[in-house]
Amino acid sequence: MVRWGMVIDLDKCTACQACIVACRVENNVPIGGEEEVGKERAIYWNQFFSEIHGSFPNLRLRMFPRPCMHCEDPPCVPVCPVDATYKDADGRVLVRYDKCIGCRYCMVACPYGARYFNWFTPEYGEGHENHLNPDAVWDGESWLVGPTPRPRGVVEKCTLCVQRIERSRKEGVPVGSEHQGGTVSACAQTCPAFAITFGDLEDPGSDVYRLSKDKRAFRLLEDLGTRPQVYYLSEV
């Protein structure tokens, strides 16, 4: 059994946000435009947060990227009225873009704000529109779950780069940060500081397995009992 997950080392993260850009390009994540970003309609499968703790002079700036947590017990999945979002056999939480009715109940149910709605028909910046990722992934029931540009009015979110992982497994390419040249998610691949590790949380030989057991490891909002499959390593 496979359970894909990631570990993000906040001590290594330089807050360069290349992971956010790489995700946008890999997954055809549309750009909202300045006005819509201001209205909180922007889409980020991986969103970057910065947070100031304390007050002057005892300030501490914390910054971290937040992909979908792919919870083991995802609150977003049971609420979907049409079964358009589900936890797949490999531990990913996916959205069936051609089944979703756009009620946004899953967004209401997600404490991480990891789900995004297509308030408009997706638009891509000049240049980006000529370089869209042509990949498409269908699940076992022939619903579209891969990175093809989504229609207006549906919910979308991080898939842990399902298109990369599925193609590599078909072609026999190893998946996981522990393999030399192994396939990983776009955010993990692009990170210049090697802060993001991708792999199978069930495989005792994998990097994510080892790091998820590290004493610095924690998960976001652990008290809510969602058991994310994305771990963070705290700053020392």
Partner 1 sequence: MTESESHTAEAGLRPIAETTWRFWVLVAILGAVMTWALYAYSVQLGVGLGSTGMNAPAYWGIYIVNFVYLIGLSAGGVIVASLAYVFNLKEYKPIARIAELLAIVCLILAMVFVTLDIGRPERLVNIVLFGNPLSPLVWDFIVIVIYLAICLVYGYLGTRPDIVAAMKAIPKRARLYRALALWYTDVSPAALRRDERTLKAIAMAALPTAVALHSVTAWILGLMKAQPGWHTALLAPLFVASAIISGLALVVVATVASRRFLHLDIEDSLISRLGRFLVWLIPIDFYFAFAEIITVQYGREPAQFSTLQDVVLGPLAWSFWTEMLVGLLIPFLLIVRSKDRTPKRVGIAAFLIFFGVFFKRIDIVIPSLIFRWLPFPMGGYVPTWVELSLMAGVYAFGILAFTLFAKLFPLVPLEKAERPEGEVVHVPAAPA
Binding residues for partner 1 (CB under 8 A): 36, 39-41, 49-51, 66, 75, 78-84, 99-105, 107-113, 116-121, 151-155, 220-221, 224-225
Distance in Å, CB of 54 to partner 1, minimum: 14
Q: Enumerate the β-bridge partners of residue 156.
A: 116
User: In this complex, which beta carbon is closest to partner 1, that of residue 155 or of residue 165?
Assistant: 155
User: In this complex, which beta carbon is closest to partner 1, that of residue 7 or of residue 84?
Assistant: 84
Distance in Å, CB of 235 to partner 1, minimum: 16
Distance in Å, CB of 182 to partner 1, minimum: 30
SS3 6: strand
Distance in Å, CB of 219 to partner 1, minimum: 13
CB 174 within 8 A of CB 162: no
Q: How far apart are CA 107 and CA 156, in angstroms?
A: 10
Distance in Å, CB of 190 to partner 1, minimum: 23
Q: How far apart are CA 153 and CA 169, in angstroms?
A: 32
Q: How far apart are CA 233 and CA 236, in angstroms?
A: 9
User: In this complex, which beta carbon is closest to partner 1, that of residue 87 or of residue 210?
Assistant: 87
User: In this complex, which beta carbon is closest to partner 1, that of residue 111 or of residue 174?
Assistant: 111
User: In this complex, which beta carbon is closest to partner 1, that of residue 71 or of residue 233?
Assistant: 71
Q: Which amino acid is at 67?
A: P
Q: Where in the chain does DSSP place strands (E)?
A: 4-9, 47-53, 60-66, 85-87, 93-95, 116-117, 155-156, 196-200, 217-218, 230-233
Q: Which two tokens stand for residue 76?
A: 């977003």
Q: What is the DSSP string of 111-139?
A: TT---EE-SSS----TTGGGG------B-
Distance in Å, CB of 4 to partner 1, minimum: 22
SS3 230: strand
User: In this complex, which beta carbon is closest to partner 1, that of residue 103 or of residue 173?
Assistant: 103
